[in-house]
Amino acid sequence: MNYTILRNLFYTLKRFRTASALNLFGLSFAFAAFIVIMMKVSYEQNFDNCYPEPERLVMLNLGDPDNHTMGYLPRGPIDYLMEQVPGFEYGTIYAPAWGKTALYTDPKNPQYFYETPWAVSPGFAKVVGLKFIAGSDAEMGQPESIIVSESYARKLFPDGNALGAYLYIEGSNFLTPDATKYRICGIYEDLPENCQFKNDLFVTMGERVQKDDWGSQNYFAFFRLKPGVSVEEANRQIAATRAIDRMNVDKDDKTALYVFPIRDFYYTMHSPYYLKTGSRSTTALLVVIGMLIIAIACINLVNFSTALAPMRMRSINTQKVLGSTNGELRRALTLESVCTVLVGWLIALGITAALIRLNVLSFMGFTPSLLTYWQYVAGTGMIALAVGIIAGLYPAWYMTSFPPALVLKGNYALSGKGKRLRTLLIGFQYVVSFALIVSAAFIFLQNRYMRNRALGFDRDQLLVASLPEMPYQSSPYHSFESKLKSYAEIADVAFAKWELGANEGYTSYMFRHKGEEYGHFFIEVSTNFPDVMGMKLTSGTGFLPSDSISKDPMIFLATEDLQRKTGIEAGEMVDFVWGNQARIKGFVQNTQFTSFKTNALPYVFCPNAKYTNGQLPYAYIRVRAGSDMDTALRRVRQAAEECFTGFPVDVKFYDQVYASLYQQEADQQQMITLFSLLAIVISLVGVFGLIIFEAEHRRKEIGVRKVYGASTGQILWMFGRSYLVLSLVSSVIATPVAWYGVTQWLEQFSQRVPLSPWVFVGACAVICLITEVTITVQNYRAATANPVDSLKTE
């Protein structure tokens, strides 16, 4: 029995090679997409779950607990809470250096490499729960100590002699100002990719750096709770210290010092700085898309099996006559479906492995691996088995449920019940396709809207170069500036503390004016920075070259949103931190150096700050109008190589810098668009199968209509009309679902693209056009065939 059925199956598949190949293609790519999606979901759902007893690892924050915005903290309250809160077992500061530090391993033959060490407290390794494969963190309480990851140790010392070796420093680092070299006292086991801490260099924080500072917000803080201490209890103990009352920061009645579990950070907090965050809504959307892709593939398999049923019923009926029961036949047919799906799943594994090998999945934001995520890969295999059974049950029942006479007539295909089933299946696919097209379109429009918004300065003809951390008034900087200005392509060059536009936040301070405190982003710059950036002065006067001399009072330019918020006029004095005064010399047009995902603080620009160590490691180069940008780029790189020998100066167009703020959104757009297109293509495979199904059973009708004078266009319209109506009705049904989903996704942005109805109309038009083209191409041969031949086949 099974042999006869399989032989008939292979004959039928051979007869419909194209449809068979497309069905297997759709099934395989559906499972490949689902495997990749599930690996991504695992990466997201298990973020920061790799530490020993992760529920005891918490992070300190200053802000409104209901607002979920992460910010920097001053060092003073961090050190104070480490000593005063009994529920903390260990605590650590966690702070990135403000630029790359030049390091080398051999003082006799220095070969420079450049890194950004993270400064931490001695208890860092115990807080995180690092596992050391060599050495320990016992010496981290001593100056100039450093721990490195296993992979980084292999990179620095391929011969394996990293422990006890020294990393020598060229220049100085703000966070470890007294260090001249670092001794590697411990090598820890690499942390997984989905955690906040990098496999990097961690140095001991300078003991005196901002030691008793309760106002400068430059640090993160992590704590490990003692066993049995809850987060709620720890927060009660923090509140009891009243540490927040001593902090010189911008705060209101809702502001609190509190800790929260590190595992909650990735999804629930918004971090404008170095920490990683994710979108729960995007993860949920990926899961939904993955399930829909599998559902569409399952429907396609049902459609395809049903489409082939008329060609197989005669063979199945013969098996009945020879004594096979319906149960035996149905089990055999269901097994066919299971085998087909499992073959598709095996092909999907090959497709996934090839995509990983070719490194084409970088937009997913993680490193996919069939071995690392083997549990989820095996899980998709079980899902494939279930899909095979579910998709095989109905066709098996359908092909064995008719009496011989009806089988021979084959008129179920055109019965009301058969049409309703096909309408329901294809309608579901249209609804899914419409919703996915709309979602992908609005993600694209929102990303374009954010990238193209006016930023309050001229970002065209602008280059940015990252330079070594050394005083910007030093000889190499002067040489670099002079050499650049000697080129005809370069109009001017300015310097700043930050790579502005690459971060969601910057060092923030507060000042006092008429008894009120106001927070702001504090940006140290050279005096010509506003002019080079093309900022427009709205009141007061700009910087003079003499303003770069460090003196009291400090000199500020601020954005006009600060003026509207405070009512301060140009020239007025304000009380700055540490008892200093500052004069706000003027106001410039509002600028945007963060993304539009956040409501940024006002900006204050200062050319004579006392606390920068004179280091402004980012150069902003204005290219002269009409000059070739590629030539200017080569000029900057040439000057950097001559003035900062060995330093890997990274020179970029400003648009590239600003685009990095939206890299996560760009990756999300690419993910959603790719998987949406895949779902649409798989849906079209289903449409293709149904067209085969319908055309096979309407050959006689086509022949009769042709005999009575119907044209080819009329025949094609006969096929396309019902699908056109179905696609329109499905689009109407899907519109409120898509509208709601897009609205919820857009809520995460402070500035949003409007919900244009034309996007919904366009999505409907795309579906209708693709469907009609598919129907026309597939049915053209049937519509132009000799009607005599069609009638003979019946």
Query: What range defines the domain where residue 400 resides?
Result: 1-47+278-409
Give 169 or 769, the one with higher predicted confidence.
769
Q: Which two tokens stand for residue 19?
A: 């449809």
Per the model's pLDDT, the better-predicted residue between 78 and 577 turns out to be 78
Cite the DSSP H helix spans in 322-415. 326-357, 374-399, 404-409
Number of domains in the chain: 3
With respect to residue 423, please indicate whether it lies within any of the assigned structural domains. no
Rg of the chain (C-alpha set):
33
Residues 38 and 103 in one domain: no
| Helix, strand, coil share of the chain (percent; to 5) | 50, 15, 30
> Does residue 448 lie within any of the structural domains?
no
Q: Which of 57-66, 331-340, 377-386 has the lowest mean pLDDT?
A: 331-340
Q: Which residues contact 671 (CB under 8 A, 6 or more apart)?
A: 40, 286, 363, 364
Higher pLDDT, 702 or 221: 221
Q: Which of 242, 268, 294 is the last residue of a domain?
A: 268
Tell me: pLDDT of 417 over 70.
Answer: no
Closest CA to 318 of 393, 380, 407, 389: 407
Predicted confidence band of residue 92 (pLDDT cuts 50, 70, 90): very high
Last residue of a domain, one of 248, 268, 288: 268
pLDDT at 414: 45
Question: Per residue in 181-205, pLDDT tens?
Answer: 889 999 999 999 999 988 888 988 8
| pTM across the whole model | 0.77
* Residue 633 pLDDT greater than 60, yes or no: yes
Could you tell me which residue, 717 or 375, shows the higher pLDDT? 375
State whether 263 and 383 are in the same domain. Answer: no
Distances (CA, A) of 3 to 7, 8, 9, 12, 396: 6, 9, 10, 14, 16
Average pLDDT over residues 593-607: 82
Interatomic CA distance for residues 637 and 646, integer angstroms? 12
Picking from 208-222, 411-425, 612-626, 716-730, which range would have the lowest pLDDT averaged per residue?
411-425
DSSP 189: P
Instruction: Tell me, yes or no, whether 79 and 42 share the same domain.
Output: no
User: What's the rounded mean pLDDT across residues 771-780?
Assistant: 75
Query: For residue 529, what pLDDT is reported?
Result: 94
List strand residue ranges (DSSP E) for 153-279, in order.
166-170, 181-188, 201-204, 220-225, 256-261
pLDDT for the residue 408: 47
- Residues 323 and 225 occupy one common structural domain: no
Tell me, yes or no, whether 206 and 286 share the same domain. Answer: no
Q: Is residue 108 part of a domain?
A: yes
Residue pLDDT, tens place only, 441-476? 898 888 888 877 778 888 889 999 988 877 778 888
| % of the chain surpassing 90 pLDDT | 27
In this prediction, residue 323 carries a pLDDT of 67
Residue 480 has pLDDT above 70, yes or no: yes
Residue 100 lies in a domain: yes
198 and 328 co-located in one domain: no
* 257-278 exposure pattern, b = at least 16 Cβ within 10 A, e = fewer: bbbbbbbebbbebbbbebbbbb
Percent of the chain with pLDDT over 70: 83
395 with 483, same domain: the answer is no
Identity of the residue numbered 680: I
Whether residue 589 sits in one domain with residue 647: yes
Amino acid code (one letter) for 455: L
Could you report the per-residue pLDDT of 41-58, keeping only the tens digit for each? 999 999 999 999 999 999
d(C-alpha 511, C-alpha 613), whole Å: 21
Considering the domain architecture, whether residues 384 and 517 belong to the same structural domain is answered as: no
Contact 467, 496 (CB under 8 A): no
**Integer Cα distance of 701 and 269 in angstroms:** 63
Domain final position from 662, 694, 727: 662
More confident call, 452 vs 579: 452
Distance separating alpha carbons of residues 145 and 182, to the nearest angstrom? 5
Given this model, what pLDDT does residue 430 score? 86
Beta strands in 67-207 (DSSP E): 88-96, 101-104, 113-115, 118-120, 132-135, 145-149, 166-170, 181-188, 201-204
Mean pLDDT is highest, among 72-81, 114-123, 712-721, for 72-81
Q: How confident is the model at residue 175 (pLDDT cuts 50, 70, 90)?
A: low
> Do residues 78 and 13 share a domain?
no
Per-residue pLDDT at 714 exceeds 70 = yes
677 occurs within a structural domain: no
Q: Tell me, what's the pLDDT at 412?
A: 46
Confirm whether 686 is domain-assigned. Answer: no
* pLDDT given at position 596: 74
For residue 479, how far is the Cα from the chain centroid? Answer: 40
The bridge status of strand 462-466 relative to strand 508-513 is unpaired
Distance (Å, whole) CA 546 – CA 564: 28
Rounded average pLDDT over 208-230: 87
Indicate whether 560 and 532 sit together in one domain: yes
Q: 255-259, 267-271, 360-364 — which is least confidently predicted?
A: 267-271
Instruction: Give whole-number Cα distances, 225 to 58, 162, 259, in Å.
Output: 7, 32, 10
Residue 691 lies in a domain: no
CB atoms within 10 A of CB 722: 15
First vs last C-alpha separation in the chain: 28
Average pLDDT (292-309) is 78
Does residue 729 form part of some domain? no
Tell me, yes or no, whether 34 and 65 share the same domain. Answer: no
